[in-house]
Amino acid sequence: IKHHLEQSVYERSSRLIVLSRAFGDILTKRYAISPERVRVVPGCVDTAQFDPPCTPAEARLRLQLPQGRPIVLAVRRLVRRMGLEDLIDAVRQLKPRHPDVLLLIAGRGRLEAELQQRINDAGLADNVKLLGFVPDAHLPSLYRAATLSVVPTVALEGFGLITVESLAAGTPVLVTPVGGLPEAVAGLSQDLVLPATGADAIADGIDAALSGRLKLPDAQACREYARNHFDNAVVAKRVAEVYAEAIAAANSGVQ
């Protein structure tokens, strides 16, 4: 029934906006929508909001985070498809090489108790912290305080707005090759896309970043990329262009 309703709505639309080519493929392959009617317009954020007037050291001081440790940040709902189990297992692999690494996981969800048990069982209580819900007002500083962010998703990721939030704060982000995630960062650096999902690939990627074998984009490059491609004003203009196109098609009688 759900598929039938969705199909009916899609077929009546002269233009369809999707957040990524990955979502566009769902429309064209699963629902047989003509690619000529599909437009890819990414998600957007107020990039100025995620560019706080503080240095990483000042952000850490404000949030009472350690100054000398590499901090890896994941902002995710604590549900199965987010790959947080893999991320915790990756830290377990990293600990012998980077004993001071600190993973911060911000978010709530039904896996909280299970993830905490996983952390305890692996002896990672000093290396992995579940922060719970972080207010929007504190997120920019948290991104700014991190050495890098990681999005370890294993399924169903249409775009991943947290990638843009992190980049807007000047913090590079490693992503798994799932859904629209690669599209969000590949224009900045293809090296930000991990070769696979799973703990091994995540651990290797973080290790390469922390050891300097992987050259991450600097803070200025991250911020400029976010501003130029994903700022509210930039994306709003692209959405308006699709509306204008749909109106013109309707007025001409050509879909």
Q: How would you write the pLDDT of the chain (255 residues) with one tens digit per residue?
A: 999 999 999 999 999 999 999 999 999 999 999 999 999 999 999 999 999 999 999 999 999 999 999 999 999 999 999 999 999 999 999 999 999 999 999 999 999 999 999 999 999 999 999 999 999 999 999 999 999 999 999 988 888 899 999 999 999 999 999 999 999 999 999 999 999 999 999 999 999 999 999 999 999 999 999 999 999 999 999 999 999 999 998 888 666
Query: Does the residue 18 lie in any domain?
Result: yes
Instruction: For residues 103 and 33, state if they share a domain.
Output: no
Instruction: For residues 136 and 244, state if they share a domain.
Output: no
Query: Does the residue 82 lie in any domain?
Result: yes
Query: Does the residue 49 lie in any domain?
Result: no
8 Å CB contact between 72 and 146: yes
The label of the residue with tokens 């911060």 reads: 104
- Please tell me the distance from the alpha carbon of residue 227 to that of residue 198, in angstroms, as a whole number: 31
Query: Does the residue 159 lie in any domain?
Result: yes
**Structure pTM?**
0.93
Instruction: For residues 175 and 218, state if they share a domain.
Output: yes
Instruction: For residues 128 and 237, state if they share a domain.
Output: no
Query: Does the residue 194 lie in any domain?
Result: yes
pLDDT of residue 69: 97
8 Å CB contact between 94 and 128: no
Query: Does the residue 50 lie in any domain?
Result: no
Report the number of distinct structural domains present in the chain: 2
CA dihedral of residues 166, 227, 154, 195 (deg, nearest 10): -100
Domain span at residue 168?
A: 56-229
Instruction: For residues 143 and 159, state if they share a domain.
Output: yes
Instruction: For residues 210 and 238, state if they share a domain.
Output: no
Buried b / exposed e along 54-82 (16+ C-beta atoms within 10 A): eebeebbeebebeeebbbbbbbbebeeeb
Instruction: For residues 61 and 81, state if they share a domain.
Output: yes
Query: Does the residue 48 lie in any domain?
Result: no
- Please tell me the distance from the alpha carbon of residue 30 to that of residue 97, in angstroms, as a whole number: 45
Instruction: For residues 110 and 201, state if they share a domain.
Output: yes
Query: Does the residue 108 lie in any domain?
Result: yes
What does the DSSP 8-state code read for residue 19? Answer: S
Instruction: For residues 118 and 191, state if they share a domain.
Output: yes
- Please tell me the distance from the alpha carbon of residue 216 to that of residue 28, in angstroms, as a whole number: 35
